Amino acid sequence: MKFPRGVSGERLVRVLKSLGYEEVRQRGSHLRLQHVGPPRHSVSVPMHDQLRTGTLHAILSDVARMRSISIETLIGQL
């Protein structure tokens, strides 16, 4: 599946919140989210208008691995 282009940080945060992630803090343009349920996991999302494809891929891969879901499922929610 091809990664979508032009995904904003806000859009990605909405998807992560639907998976149970909560905002912990923000420093500059980066928002830190954390999932408390086993296993505990934190991820940092740059709040830019358009995320780079590599950044989006890295975040989605990390979340998919920790939450035991497929990257395709996450892309479908974007």
For 28-77, what is each residue's pLDDT tens digit?
999 999 999 888 999 999 999 999 999 999 999 999 999 999 999 999 99
Q: Which amino acid is at 64?
A: A
Res. 3 pLDDT band, cuts 50 70 90: confident
Domain map (residue ranges) of the chain: 9-77
Q: Hey, what CATH topology would domain 9-77 get?
A: Metal Transport, Frataxin; Chain A (3.30.920)
Contact, 18 vs 78, CB < 8 A?
no
What pTM was estimated for this model as a whole? 0.91
